[in-house]
Amino acid sequence: MMQEKGTAQVYKELTPMKKDQIDPVNATVWVPDSKTPNGIAEIPLTPLAADAFKNQMLISGPGPYFFPNDRNPSGHQTTLKTVWRKTLKRAGIPYFRMYDLRSTYATRLSAGGVADEWGTQLLRQGDAKVFKKYSQMRLQMKREALEKMNRLANEMLPDSDTAVVQ
């Protein structure tokens, strides 16, 4: 099976996930097998994610897999490529790799002020070097926010001396 670059974790951890790896009471997911030792972990879920996991559990049927596929000898989904493209298209979102969500997650953790040590743990990385690059993005994000504020402040209403507030 040809995999898109960066999808190893999706196909090693997510598609073969079993229902017994999910703890809805404590809102966690257990990842028992990963490409790195740090990837083996209990992952906390936000309330939104916990609800999504509960809904998937309801529609996944009686078998052991969280993403079942009766047409596959493994018993679970082995690819999400088609469903990912269709989902993005239905939502009106331009295509991007599923793996790119990892960068988005890391950047948002960093921009939200999450300490590098915690970000590293949440990303299930071995050291903070990987997370550091996302932390460095905070400065650029701050610059962009200031530039946006300046643009808005410089936009004037016609025949008025006050700036447009949006």
pLDDT tens for residues 61-106?
999 999 999 998 899 999 888 989 999 999 999 999 888 888 888 8
Contact between residue 29 and residue 53 where contact means Cβ atoms under 8 Å apart: yes
- pLDDT range class, residue 35, cuts 50, 70, 90: confident
Query: Which of 3-12, 52-61, 102-111, 149-158 is the most confident on average?
Result: 52-61
**What distance in Å separates the CA atoms of residue 67 and residue 157, rounded to the nearest whole number?**
54
Nearest C-alpha neighbor of 66 from the set 116, 13, 114:
13
The model's pLDDT over 4-24, given as tens digits with 9 standing for 90+, comes to 555 677 888 888 999 999 999
Q: Residue 115 above 60 pLDDT?
A: yes
What is the token pair recorded at 78?
A: 């082995």
**What distance in Å separates the CA atoms of residue 161 and residue 157, rounded to the nearest whole number?**
7
- Which residue spans within the chain are E strands per DSSP? 22-23, 28-31, 41-44
What is the pTM assigned to this prediction? 0.67
